[in-house]
């Protein structure tokens, strides 16, 4: 048994891997991660950019696609669909053994659609049709335009990973989109899965930049504390939303909770311990998706203990203290949302260019 196994068995939190590349699929390394306790996988355009650039693992398939007249962007999606499909198969035993609770693999819609509701719905629907697996989660960003797309997909009985959540107010909108989508769904609700991906470390990076500019001892004392506090308050919102008469009427139809997923959980500040964003956000019905370096760190010296709801009043006090110093958390969330979308678009565009350049060499 590993610490990753203990995380799920003792505390009800599912460790997922925030990385995917073909070399791991072919070598068996991905299957080895699953045997060590990984219960799901997340991907995004930046992950695929790193996976496909500077390697020949994708060349044979790319050559075949180019020979058949496929352009770079369509080739990208074919490469992604193969990796996701293979990963879904590796995670299938986890999905089946858990009764659909875990074993999911996430793939993101074209990031340039983040501000386009209609385009996002069409792209998400197309991915579900192209990869008709019960353990697929299609990632939709929690932008204002993404919220109605999330509701529509859930109403159609499709499983969704809501990504790029940076604020408690937007998280409330995400929860409502999921609940109202379930209420509008005519299908089997037990077949619908969803996670809400709350980004953690990026929040501290941006908030701490403001605290450093303030420069007071009080501000310095709050560095590295906002992201965990926000995640802990988000968990209290989750437990409240998924209880009571409204939720009970949905569970009677087989509905599953939309689990909070802690994303961006590698520490960016070297003064913070490397497992901070795992150790402080452990609790039932949650997911932590970790890059492999953080998974290794947690397995080596992480702490398996319920912490996510240990001190909600303290978390609320931390957020109040940050606001009282003049840090506008709504503005922080807006900046991070814009940056997150822009980063994924840049990764996507760079990868399409590199695939086109490589295709010209064949």
Return d(Cα 99, Cα 145) in angstroms, integer.
32
The predicted pLDDT at position 340 comes to 97
Q: Are 158 and 138 a contacting pair, CB within 8 Å?
A: yes
What domains does the chain contain, in order, with CATH numbers? 3-201+231-307+330-359 (3.20.20.70)
Q: Is 139 a catalytic residue?
A: yes
Which tokens is 41 given? Answer: 């996988």
Alpha-helix runs per DSSP H in the chain: 3-11, 22-27, 29-35, 45-52, 59-67, 72-97, 117-130, 146-155, 168-184, 201-214, 217-221, 226-241, 245-251, 276-279, 292-301, 312-324, 329-359
CA angle 192, 175, 224 (to 5 degrees): 120
Close Cβ partners of 103 (under 8 Å, ≥ 6 residues apart): 39, 40, 91, 92, 93, 94, 95, 96, 97, 135
The predicted pLDDT at position 85 comes to 98
Cα torsion for 131, 135, 141, 144, to the nearest 10°?
100
Q: Are 240 and 285 a contacting pair, CB within 8 Å?
A: no
Query: Cα 211 from chain centroid?
Result: 27
CA angle 224, 227, 231 (to 5 degrees): 145
Residue corresponding to tokens 């678009």: 345
Q: Which residues pair with 137 in a beta bridge?
A: 106
Catalytic residue among 21, 50, 63, 139: 139
Starting at the edge strand that comes first in sequence, how are the strands of the sheet with 13-17 ordered? 13-17, 286-290, 259-263, 194-199, 160-165, 136-141, 105-108
- CA-derived radius of gyration, the chain: 20
Write out the chain's pLDDT in tens, 362 residues.
899 999 999 999 999 999 999 999 999 999 999 999 999 999 999 999 999 987 899 999 999 999 999 999 999 999 999 999 999 999 999 999 999 999 999 999 999 999 999 999 999 999 999 999 999 999 999 999 999 999 999 999 999 999 999 999 999 999 999 999 999 999 899 999 999 999 999 999 999 999 999 999 999 999 999 999 999 999 999 999 999 999 999 999 999 999 999 999 999 999 999 999 999 999 999 999 999 999 999 999 999 999 999 999 999 999 999 999 999 999 999 999 999 999 999 999 999 999 999 888 88
Return d(Cα 218, Cα 239) in angstroms, integer.
31
**What's the number of CA atoms in the CB half-sphere (13 Å) around residue 145?**
14
Query: Cα 215 from chain centroid?
Result: 33
Q: Are 149 and 117 a contacting pair, CB within 8 Å?
A: yes
Which tokens is 275 given? Answer: 């497992």
Q: What are phi and psi of 207, to 5 degrees?
A: -65, -45
Task: Identify the DSSP state of 41.
Answer: B
Which pLDDT tens digit goes with each residue over 233-262? 999 999 999 999 999 999 999 999 999 999
Return d(Cα 22, Cα 314) in angstroms, integer.
43
By C-alpha distance, which of 207, 195, 156 is closest to 333? 207
Number of neighbouring beta carbons within 10 Å of residue 123 = 19
The predicted pLDDT at position 53 comes to 86
Which pLDDT tens digit goes with each residue over 154-189? 999 999 999 999 999 999 999 999 999 999 999 899
């Amino acid at each position: 048994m590993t610490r990753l196994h203990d995380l799920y068995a003792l505390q009800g939190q599912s460790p997922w891997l925030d990385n995917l590349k073909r070399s791991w699929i072919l070598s068996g390394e991905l299957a080895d991660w699953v045997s060590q306790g990984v219960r799901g996988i997340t991907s995004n355009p930046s992950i695929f950019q790193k996976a496909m650039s500077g390697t020949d693992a994708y060349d044979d398939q790319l050559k075949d696609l180019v020979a058949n007249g496929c352009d770079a962007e369509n080739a990208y999606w074919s490469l992604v669909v193969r990796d996701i499909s293979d990963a879904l198969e590796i995670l299938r035993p986890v999905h089946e053994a858990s009764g659909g609770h875990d074993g999911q693999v996430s793939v993101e819609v074209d990031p340039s659609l983040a501000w386009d509701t209609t385009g996002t719905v069409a792209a998400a629907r197309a991915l579900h049709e192209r990869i008709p697996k019960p353990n697929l989660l299609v990632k939709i960003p929690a932008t204002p335009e993404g919220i109605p797309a999330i509701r529509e997909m859930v109403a159609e009985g499709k499983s969704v990973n809501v990504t790029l959540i940076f604020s408690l107010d937007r998280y409330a909108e995400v929860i409502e989109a999921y609940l109202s989508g379930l209420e509008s769904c005519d299908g089997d609700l037990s077949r619908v899965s969803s996670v809400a991906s709350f980004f953690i470390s990026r929040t501290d990076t941006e908030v701490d930049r403001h605290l450093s500019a303030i420069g007071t001892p009080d501000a310095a004392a709050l560095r590295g504390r906002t992201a965990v506090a926000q995640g802990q308050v988000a968990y209290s919102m989750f437990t409240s939303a998924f209880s009571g008469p409204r939720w009970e009427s949905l569970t009677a139809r087989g509905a599953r909770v939309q689990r909070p997923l802690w994303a961006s959980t590698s520490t960016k500040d070297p003064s913070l311990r490397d497992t901070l964003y795992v150790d402080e956000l452990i609790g039932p019905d949650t997911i932590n998706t970790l890059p492999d370096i953080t998974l290794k760190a947690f397995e080596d010296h992480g702490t398996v203990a319920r912490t996510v709801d240990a001190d909600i009043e303290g978390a609320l006090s931390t957020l109040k203290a940050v606001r009282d110093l003049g840090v506008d958390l709504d503005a922080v969330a807006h900046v991070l949302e814009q940056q997150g979308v822009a980063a994924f678009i840049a990764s996507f565009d760079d990868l399409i260019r590199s695939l086109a350049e490589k295709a010209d060499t064949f």
